[in-house]
Amino acid sequence: MNEKDLILIKTLYEEQNITHTSKRLYISQPAISDRLKKLEDELNCSLIIRQPRGILFTSAGESLYNYACQHLIDYSKLKQAIQLKKYLTTGTLKIGCSNIFSRYKMPLLLSEFITLYPNININMCSGYSHDRYKDFLKGATQICIVRGEHMWKEKKILLFKDPLCLIAKQPINIKNLPNLPYIHYLTDPLLQTVLDDWWYSNFKEHPKTIIEVDSIETTLKLVQQNLGFTLLSQICTTDTPELFYLPLKDPSGKIIKRNTWLFYRNNYIHFTVTKAFIDFITKKFNS
């Protein structure tokens, strides 16, 4: 049974005549009779009784007519709601975001986005980039904003490139780093590999690690107290402009930068909330 069957039943009841129904729906009388027979077989009951001047609905036919009327009303409302949603952007947007982006970029961005789209509910989870990327691959989020390089083959936007820096209370000579106390921020494995490559391309000694912490804020507070130096992205100095920072360079003298990416799926165009956020972010970072 489908929508056409329900329209047929509704029209038959209103006309009480197969000939008139045939003319109204532009369906041949044999086709109507055939469809009625199939419906009766499907429901295992008689729906109409033929009379000399029309038809009479049985009790089962009456029940099917009432069902058809309600279903067609509900279906019409559903189509209207779907059409309305094309113009009203509503729903829930699930975002996975790196710690650094969520701290230094996301608050202002989300504030502006929610002002533009008050009917969108935001569900955001921050953390290490490799963890948020795994969640995204599993389908837990619609948007993934991560740092570093990942093997994503669908849609992506490069948001910005951020220099990796030596950060200290006061200017220091980079050649003296192996002899100075190091405050190690426990970052994600991808960034740690980059930092390790830089360190051991410049020094034979291990860093003189005195403190290990998993909080950027704590790391910077320790540096502010002149307890040691650290290695972080330049964006982390946003709230501590008084600190000394020096971009790290590779053996060729090129500043080492870390990319921040926004990943999303090819089918994003079918989800209004995702498309709205993609369009918003694209405009903000391309302006």
pLDDT, tens digit, for every residue of 33-60? 999 999 999 999 999 999 888 899 999 9
pLDDT, tens digit, for every residue of 112-132? 999 999 989 999 999 999 999
Mean pLDDT along residues 257-284: 92
Whether 77 has a pLDDT exceeding 90, the answer reads no
**Cβ(235)–Cβ(255) under 8 Å?**
no
Number of residues in the chain: 287
State which H helix or E strand residue 71 sits in.
helix 59-85
Mean pLDDT along residues 151-156: 94
**Cβ(3)–Cβ(79) under 8 Å?**
no
Name the DSSP letter for residue 245.
E
Of 109, 102, 97, nearest to 141 (Cα)?
97
**Cβ(55)–Cβ(236) under 8 Å?**
no
- Paired strand residues for 245: 167
Q: What are the tokens at 181?
A: 């106390």
- Using a 10 angstrom Cβ sphere, with 0-12 exposed, 13-18 middle and 19 or more buried, the burial of residue 196 is exposed
Q: What is the pTM of this model?
A: 0.69
